[in-house]
Amino acid sequence: MKKNKIYIKSYGCQMNIYDSNRILDLFKNKDYVITKNPEDANLVVLNTCHIREKAAEKVYSDIGRINKIKQNRSQDDIQLVIAGCVAQAEGQEIKKRAPSVDYVVGPQSYHKLPEMLKKNDSFISDEFTQNEKFKNLLYNSSGGVSEFVSIQEGCDKFCSFCVVPYTRGPEFSRPVNEIVNEIEKYLKQGVKEIIFLGQNVNAYHGDGENGKSRDLAYLINKVSELESLKRIRYMTSHPIDMTNSLIKVHKTNNKLMPFLHLPIQSGSNKVLKKMNRKHTVEFYKKIVDKLRDERSDIALSSDFIVGYPDESDKDFEDTMKFVDEVKFVIAYSFMYSQRPGTPAQKKDNIPLAEKKARLSALQSLLKNQQKNYNNSFIEKNMEILFEKKGRYKNQYIGRSIYNQSVFINSEKNLINKVENVNIVRSTNFALESMF
Ligand code: SAH
Ligand code: SF4
Ligand code: F3S
C-alpha cells in the first residue's frame, strides 16, 4: 500500500519543536512517512508562533506557498493544517484570510488531529484541555541524543507585551510519574540528555506520589536517578520562580548542567514595572549572586526587549550597564513588537530607527561577551556529549556542559558518546576541538 507523506514545519520556541515531534508520532503510527519536501506531502502541518508580528506574518506567506502547491493537486490529495500559537490566537481570521487551510488546531488540542482528519468535519479545535493532550500522545524519540520533554505549559504571569498566556492558556504542570515514564521510553531508545521545557519551567508544581505537589528541584533529582540519563537541562525560567531549593540543585546534582536561561527583558526598573515583570533588576542580580555562590562556573543566558513603549535613552543605557555587569555567555534580543490582545498593545512610541540602533548596540555588546567567554576555553579540556555529524566528512558536533556547540574531526563515530577533548579554536558561536 502506498504510504501517505507528512511534512511539518516548526516556528518559534522549543515547545513547538516538542509538539511537532508528538504530531509526527501520531501520524507515523497511522501509516504516514515523513517528507522534507512540502511538494511531496499529502499532509502539510505548519506549527506556528505568535510571539512577534514577523513570526505570525511569515505563516501567511508560507500558506501562500502551500496554496500554490495545492492548486495543482486534488482536494483529498493534499491537506493543510495550521497548528500552534497563531492557530490558537487567530483561528477564525486564518479561515477568512486563507480559505485553502483545511484544519486549525491549537497547542492544547493537536492530539485530536488524526480524528479530525478522519471525520473530515470540524475545522477548528482550540480548547485548553491540557492534561488530556498529554494522555493521548505517543512518545517516540526523535532519534537524537538529546530530547525535549514538556513538563509545564502555559503562563499566569501576564507580562504586558506577551501573547503566551493567551495562546498556551493557564499554567499547568504534568504529574511526576507521567514525566518519568516518558523519559524512560526515550532512554530505551538511546537518548542521553533531557531538556525540560515550559514557558515558565521553574514554576513547575506537578503531582507526585500520593498527590503531593512537587517542585522542579524534586523532579530534577528524581529523574537523575535514571542511570542511563547523563545530562539534564531546563528552560525557560522566570526570575521570581528561581527558588533557593532550585538554586541549590545546581550545586548538589551533577547531572544538572551548569547553564541557565533566565530572561530579564530590561535592565531598567521603570521598564520592568511597565512590563509587569514582577521583579526588579536588584532582585535578578541577587539570584545571579546566589547561583554563582552555589556553582561559580554557571553559564547564564537571557532575553531582552528593546524599544519597549516609553523606554528612554537612560533606560536603554541601564540595560547596557546591566549586561556589562552580569556578563552573559549568550543572550537573545528583540525589538518590541505590538501584539494583539496584550495590555501593551496600545502603545508603540519608539521610532523604528531608534529601536534598530538600540538592538544593534546591545547585540554587539552581547556578541563580544560571547566571544570573550568562548575564547576563555582555548587550550582547556572539556567534557562533550556528541550529538550528530557535521557538514564535513569525519566531522562531529557536540555540546559542552555550558551548552556551547563543539566541532571535532574524528575517524571514530562519536555520536552518543561523552568524551573529554581539548579546545583549540573558538569562533563567536562555537568551539573547535581535538583529542
Ligand atoms: N517565558 C519566557 C519567554 C517567552 S517568549 C519568559 O518569561 O521570559 C521568548 C522571548 O520573546 C521573551 O523572553 C521576550 O524577550 C520575547 N518577546 C515576547 N513578546 C515579545 C514582543 N511582544 N516583542 C518583542 N519580543 C517579545
Ligand atoms: Fe510571556 Fe511573561 Fe509568561 Fe514569559 S512570563 S511567557 S514573557 S507572560
Ligand atoms: Fe511562539 Fe507559542 Fe512558543 S507564541 S514562542 S510558539 S509558546
Q: Report the nearest atom of ligand 3 relative to the CA of 55.
A: 1
CA of 156 to the centre of ligand 3 (A): 15
* Residues 292, 202 share a domain: yes
pLDDT (0 to 100) of residue 34: 95
Q: Can you tell me the mean pLDDT for 22-34?
A: 90
* Residues 225, 186 share a domain: yes
Q: Can you tell me the mean pLDDT for 28-46?
A: 92
C-alpha cell at 45: 502541518
3-state DSSP assignment of residue 361: helix
User: Looking at 109, 129, 149, which one is the last position of a domain?
Assistant: 129
301 in ligand 1 pocket by Cβ < 6 Å? no
The model's pLDDT over 363-411, given as tens digits with 9 standing for 90+, comes to 999 999 999 999 999 999 999 999 999 999 999 999 999 999 999 999 9
CA of 403 to the centre of ligand 1 (A): 21
Distances (CA, A) of 226 to 235, 256, 273: 20, 13, 42
Give the residue, out of 86, 204, 235, 303, with the most ligand 1 atoms within 8 A of its beta carbon, to mutate for a pocket test: 303
Q: How confident is the model at residue 121 (pLDDT cuts 50, 70, 90)?
A: low
Q: Report the nearest atom of ligand 3 relative to the CA of 11.
A: 6
Q: Which CATH number do you get for residue 423?
A: 2.40.50
Q: State the burial class of residue 390 (Cβ atoms within 10 Å of its Cβ: 0-12, 13-18, 19+).
A: middle
* Residues 330, 401 share a domain: no
* Residues 304, 186 share a domain: yes
Number of domains in the chain: 3
Q: Does 197 score more than 80 pLDDT?
A: yes
Say how far apart CA 124 and CA 144 lie, in whole Å.
Answer: 33
Distances (CA, A) of 381 to 299, 370, 372, 432, 434: 17, 19, 17, 12, 10
CA of 359 to the centre of ligand 3 (A): 21
Angle at 379 between CA 193 and CA 387, to 5 degrees: 20
pLDDT (0 to 100) of residue 1: 61
Q: Whose CA is nearest to atom 3 of ligand 3?
A: 13
Q: Whose CA is nearest to atom 11 of ligand 1?
A: 51
Scan for cell 537518548, then name that residue: 191
Asked whether 406 and 263 are in contact (CB, 8 A), the reply is no
User: Looking at 373, 398, 417, which one is the last position of a domain?
Assistant: 373
CA of 232 to the centre of ligand 2 (A): 23
Q: How confident is the model at residue 122 (pLDDT cuts 50, 70, 90)?
A: low
Say how far apart CA 42 and CA 52 lie, in whole Å.
Answer: 30
pLDDT (0 to 100) of residue 76: 83
Rounded mean pLDDT of the chain?
Answer: 94
260 in ligand 3 pocket by Cβ < 6 Å? no
pLDDT (0 to 100) of residue 99: 87
Range of the domain at 107: 4-129
* Residues 341, 417 share a domain: no
Q: Does 14 score more than 90 pLDDT?
A: yes
Asked whether 125 and 104 are in contact (CB, 8 A), the reply is yes
* H helix count then E strand count, the chain: 13, 21
* Residues 85, 143 share a domain: no
Q: Which CATH number do you get for residue 32?
A: 3.40.50.12160
User: Could you tell me where the beta strands, DSSP code E, fall in 277-372?
Assistant: 299-306, 330-335
The model's pLDDT over 139-170, given as tens digits with 9 standing for 90+, comes to 999 889 999 999 999 999 999 999 999 999 99
3-state DSSP assignment of residue 252: helix
List all residues whose CB is within 6 A of at least one atom of ligand 2. Answer: 155, 157-159, 162, 164-165, 199-200, 238
* Residues 142, 101 share a domain: no
Percent of the chain with pLDDT over 90: 87
Q: Is the peptide bond before 236 cis (omega within 30 degrees of 0)?
A: yes
Q: State the burial class of residue 170 (Cβ atoms within 10 Å of its Cβ: 0-12, 13-18, 19+).
A: exposed
User: Could you tell me where the beta strands, DSSP code E, fall in 308-400?
Assistant: 330-335, 381-389, 395-399
* Residues 183, 108 share a domain: no
Q: Which CATH number do you get for residue 295?
A: 3.80.30.20
User: Looking at 354, 373, 392, which one is the last position of a domain?
Assistant: 373
Q: Report the nearest atom of ligand 2 relative to the CA of 277.
A: 2
* Residues 225, 364 share a domain: yes
* Residues 51, 194 share a domain: no
Q: Is the pTM of this model over 0.85?
A: yes
CA of 420 to the centre of ligand 1 (A): 36
3-state DSSP assignment of residue 151: coil
Backbone angles phi, psi at 420, to 5 degrees: -95, 125
Other Cβ atoms closer than 10 A to 411: 6
The model's pLDDT over 220-274, given as tens digits with 9 standing for 90+, comes to 999 999 999 999 999 999 999 999 999 999 999 999 999 999 999 999 999 999 9
CB within 8 Å of 98: residues ≥ 6 apart: 60, 63, 67, 82
Say how far apart CA 309 and CA 242 lie, in whole Å.
Answer: 27
* Residues 142, 69 share a domain: no
Choose between 2 and 26: higher pLDDT.
Answer: 26
Q: Among 243, 260, 156, which residue's Cα sits nearest to residue 200?
A: 156
Say how far apart CA 398 and CA 257 lie, in whole Å.
Answer: 14
Q: Whose CA is nearest to atom 7 of ligand 1?
A: 238
Give the residue, out of 15, 162, 238, 311, with the most ligand 1 atoms within 8 A of its beta carbon, to mutate for a pocket test: 162
Say how far apart CA 175 and CA 166 lie, in whole Å.
Answer: 23
User: Could you tell me where the beta strands, DSSP code E, fall in 299-417?
Assistant: 299-306, 330-335, 381-389, 395-399, 405-409
pLDDT (0 to 100) of residue 118: 83
Please report, in angstroms and rounded to a whole number, the separation of the first and last CA atoms in the chain.
Answer: 49
3-state DSSP assignment of residue 306: strand
Q: Can you tell me the mean pLDDT for 318-332?
A: 98
Other Cβ atoms closer than 10 A to 351: 10
CA of 345 to the centre of ligand 3 (A): 18
Percent of the chain with pLDDT over 70: 99
Give the residue, out of 305, 348, 358, with the most ligand 1 atoms within 8 A of its beta carbon, to mutate for a pocket test: 305
Report the sign of the C-alpha dihedral through residues 57, 277, 280, 263, in that order: negative
Q: Does 58 score more than 80 pLDDT?
A: yes
User: Could you tell me where the beta strands, DSSP code E, fall in 279-404?
Assistant: 299-306, 330-335, 381-389, 395-399
Q: Does 131 score more than 90 pLDDT?
A: no
Q: Does 116 score more than 80 pLDDT?
A: yes
* Residues 313, 408 share a domain: no
Q: Can you tell me the mean pLDDT for 342-358?
A: 95
Say how far apart CA 148 and CA 8 lie, in whole Å.
Answer: 17
